[in-house]
Structure 1
Amino acid sequence: MSDRDVNTPEISRSSRLTALAGADRPLHALAGRLLAVAERGLPRMLLPEGGEFAFTRAARRDGTRTLERRGTSLRYAAITALGVRYLPADRQRAVLGGRTAEEFTGLLVERLPGVRGLGDAALVAWAAAETGHPKLSDALDRVAALDRPGTPQYTVEAAWVLSALAAARATGTVDVEDRLAAARDRLLDARIGDGPLFPHATGPGLTPWYRAHIGCFADQTYPLQALARAHASGGGDPEALAAADACAARICALQGDGGQWWWHYDARRGTVVEGYPVYSVHQHAMAPTALLDLAEAGGTDFGEPVRRGLRWMTDVPELAAAGSTEPMIRDELGVTWRKVYRGDPKKAVRAARGLGTRVRPGLRLRPLDTVFRPTAVDRECRPYEFGWMLFAWLGGLPGDTPEALDTPEDTAR
């Protein structure tokens, strides 16, 4: 299916897209195509009851290309609400089973008393703040109950707590200053030595000793985004902004020649441990949302790495090298395939390199690249991937008003 066959929404008034793509019409068209795929695909991931999203939509295990919904995920539903809230109300309802993002978030808030995961609660609270839900205070109270002071947390979840508090601060309806300061300090203190990157956890005990030095791509983007948003939400925080900028500069310096955002890093040395898998969500959503937030908060403009990463979606060097013509974007199915990966049994390359770099920093074990080439495609797609995509390209910093984008019908008139 060509770009011309896709009924893309009008995106010309998205300032982020305009600023990023400029006169690059193919890149602007690619972004519009991806946003259309997101709006087409998300309703197919909504479960029949209309109040939950599936964990994933994936090809059936019988070898056919028929897609099926599997599992449920509260955190993916919250991320979806965060992104969908930037659509006009009628298109929010089309995606969310007849509900607006605020109404859908209300369903998630009602489930909070039974939530045990800090990350899930933080994302629901973040969505409550962004959508202006009246029970924001209740959502934040649940986060506080799950976030015991002095207890190490996974870095991603700690970052979501800070982003939720920054969004709540921007509403001006709740006092979160003490909690925000503690969440901000926890992230800054999680770094190892003078390194700019973040490990997988904010303290010892959550990861095995031989992997304590490793942080994944999400462990970089969510903290840098949270620190940038915290800086922008209040009177300014130069230390937080500088930390976000340093992290962004390092992952951009390490970006692959084909625009790949690599997967695992040595947080001590700021080097790549293992590059694969390359995830579509990193390319079209997570890197853009973090780096665009950083630039708008007053940090460095990393627009060119964002552009290179986005182009990977249609120019995948790993697949080209293998002679594959399979596209990562499947317009007619409403999905972007999840990742390109090595196909190594039990993630052997990641494990070997993680242990190897613990013993000898920088050890690459290069023969593994020859034995396990990254030519496999993971044919699944998860709703959070599209939630962050909408958030990245149509969103903005805490307190920003969603842009009134034209619908296709408006454009036709």
Structure 2
Amino acid sequence: MTITRLTALGREEPSLLALAGRLLAVAESGLPRMLLPGGEAFAFTMAGRRAPDGSWSLERRGTSTRYAAITALGVRFLPEDRQRAVLAGRTAEEFTGLLVESLPAVTNLGDAALIAWAAAETGHPKLSDALARVDALDEEHRPQYTVEAAWVLSALAAARGTVDVERRFSAARDRLLRARLGDSPLFPHATGPGLLPWYRAHVSCFADQTYPLQALARAHASGDGDPEALAAAEACAARICALQGDGGQWWWHYDARTGGVVEGYPVYSVHQHAMAPTALFDLADAGGTDFGAAIRKGLGWMTDVPELAARPERREPMILDELGVTWRKVHRGDPRKAVRAARGLGVRVSPKLRLTPLDRVYRPVSVDRECRPYEFGWMLYAWEGGRI
């Protein structure tokens, strides 16, 4: 019998199964509202506004190619009729085709890599064209942002069984492994010097961890096995899970040199319900450690937010079923992200410096009332994808 990730969740913690089902229903109802008129592109974000009578309204703002590609990656796991319901009558493959056709105008490596990844996973016939665009944008020996380098590797791993990508695959795999600083298990924000100012070159974010560990796990699973890649993914996963907050929080900024936390906030909903699960699930599917307990703990944060519970007057739900959104994050509300800047510079000088008075001055009790389509794309990928 095929066991889905949701089935396994129900066996381990039945109460969370209902929460996951609720979140997936929110995703399917919310994504169509994020499509721009014509159904060929997704908004960058949905911004919530509360009226004096307490009612909410949403406004589409901007457009995002990468968010559209991530959405296609997740929606492809739905039955065809539900794919069409989400994508204005198109299947995930058909929608990916629109993105592939747009590639000549795409200049961002990450956007191109995500489109190629979606083309590989949906079986699009122009996969080779998508990979060629990635190759054209990925200048050899030039440092890249780690997230985008990870997406390149994931795309190549997904394409490996269809197209000959071995040379590019090996280079992308080696680039990620070489990016780590010293013996730290965590990944930096860029794969080499030159992209970041000196004073924040050591600071990396949660996405800089989940996407590389996912890519390396998928690289291991895509061929005859790659113990070095799997070990690197394992070490990164073990570290972020060891640092996970008592309330299930996945923290935001890390010191890539030491493997410690620089600044925990904001806590993002997408990390809790989607990005951590999809990366850790892919690691387990590749034969790595099962970090299911950490996944479940993080998911529970969505309805039990300790930051807001500590201030009853600020308490509000992170999931709004009727609007089809999950609010984006809980944050400090500090001007110009002062805490992150101070702590980043502080640990640059002294890795153990914490500047704890900042926690009392800027408490994490503010809610960012936005929701972005990629959040639901990764949620669908995490919970509807994969078979145990």
On whether the aligned pair clears a TM of 0.5, the verdict is yes
1:116 equivalent in alignment to 2:107: yes
CA distance in 2: counterparts of 1:23 and 1:309, whole angstroms: 14
1:263 equivalent in alignment to 2:252: yes
Runs (5+) with no aligned partner, structure 2: none
**1:176-191, aligned counterparts within 5 Å?**
176-191=165-180
Task: Give the 3-state SS of the residue equivalent to 1:355 in structure 2.
Answer: helix
Q: What is residue 3 of structure 1 aligned with on the other side?
A: none
Identity of aligned pairs, percent?
80
CA distance in 1: counterparts of 2:293 and 2:39, whole angstroms: 39
C-alpha contact 2:50 2:57 (8 A) present in aligned 1: no
C-alpha contact 1:14 1:393 (8 A) present in aligned 2: no
1:200 equivalent in alignment to 2:189: yes
1:363 equivalent in alignment to 2:363: no
Candidates 41, 64, 70, aligned match of 1:73: 64
Q: What is residue 215 of structure 1 aligned with on the other side?
A: 204
Q: What is residue 80 of structure 2 aligned with on the other side?
A: 89
- Structure 1 range deviating more: 356-365 or 337-346: 356-365
| AA in 1 matched with 2:347 | T
Q: What is residue 37 of structure 2 aligned with on the other side?
A: 48
Q: What is residue 316 of structure 1 aligned with on the other side?
A: 305
Q: What is residue 21 of structure 1 aligned with on the other side?
A: 10
CA distance in 2: counterparts of 1:70 and 1:316, whole angstroms: 27
CA distance in 1: counterparts of 2:349 and 2:292, whole angstroms: 36
CA 288–23 in structure 1, closer or farther in 2 if over 3 Å, else same? closer
C-alpha contact 1:83 1:391 (8 A) present in aligned 2: yes
Residue 13 of structure 1, CA deviation: 6.9
Alignment TM-score, normalising by the size of structure 1 = 0.91
Residue 86 of structure 1, CA deviation: 0.2
Candidates 317, 330, 333, aligned match of 1:327: 317
Q: What is residue 272 of structure 1 aligned with on the other side?
A: 261
CA distance in 2: counterparts of 1:318 and 1:298, whole angstroms: 35
Candidates 279, 287, 291, aligned match of 2:276: 287
| AA in 1 matched with 2:126 | K
CA distance in 2: counterparts of 1:308 and 1:22, whole angstroms: 15
CA distance in 1: counterparts of 2:99 and 2:73, whole angstroms: 12
Superposed CA RMSD in Å reads 1.5
Candidates 98, 110, 128, aligned match of 1:107: 98
C-alpha contact 1:273 1:362 (8 A) present in aligned 2: no
Residue 61 of structure 1, CA deviation: 9.1
C-alpha contact 2:214 2:280 (8 A) present in aligned 1: yes
| AA in 2 matched with 1:108 | L
CA distance in 2: counterparts of 1:307 and 1:59, whole angstroms: 28
Q: What is residue 351 of structure 1 aligned with on the other side?
A: 341
CA 48–155 in structure 1, closer or farther in 2 if over 3 Å, else same? same
CA 255–23 in structure 1, closer or farther in 2 if over 3 Å, else same? closer
CA distance in 2: counterparts of 1:81 and 1:258, whole angstroms: 31
- Structure 1 range deviating more: 189-198 or 18-27: 18-27
CA distance in 1: counterparts of 2:195 and 2:10, whole angstroms: 41
CA distance in 2: counterparts of 1:120 and 1:216, whole angstroms: 19
Residue 122 of structure 1, CA deviation: 0.1
Q: What is residue 303 of structure 1 aligned with on the other side?
A: 292
CA distance in 2: counterparts of 1:61 and 1:216, whole angstroms: 31
Give CA-to-partner distance per residue, 1:5-64, whole Å, 9 cap, x none.
Answer: xxxxxxx97611222331522111000000000000000000111100000001249887
Alignment TM-score, normalising by the size of structure 2 = 0.97
Q: What is residue 4 of structure 1 aligned with on the other side?
A: none
CA distance in 1: counterparts of 2:222 and 2:382, whole angstroms: 18
| AA in 1 matched with 2:281 | L
